[in-house]
Amino acid sequence: MGRGKPPIGAQKKLTIKAVSNQDKKELRKLADDFGLLYRKEVQEIIETCKNYSEGQQKIMRVYTAVYLK
Q: How far apart are CA 50 and CA 27, in angstroms?
A: 12
Report how far apart, in Å, the C-alpha atoms of 3 and of each of 8, 11, 12, 39 are. 14, 14, 17, 54
pLDDT single digits (tens) 14-51: 555 678 999 999 999 999 999 999 999 999 999 999 99
The answer to whether the pTM exceeds 0.75 is no
Q: How far apart are CA 45 and CA 12, in angstroms?
A: 28
Please give the radius of gyration of the chain, using alpha carbons only, rounded to the nearest integer: 18
**Among candidate residues 15, 19, 14, 22, the one with its CA nearest the CA of residue 58:** 19
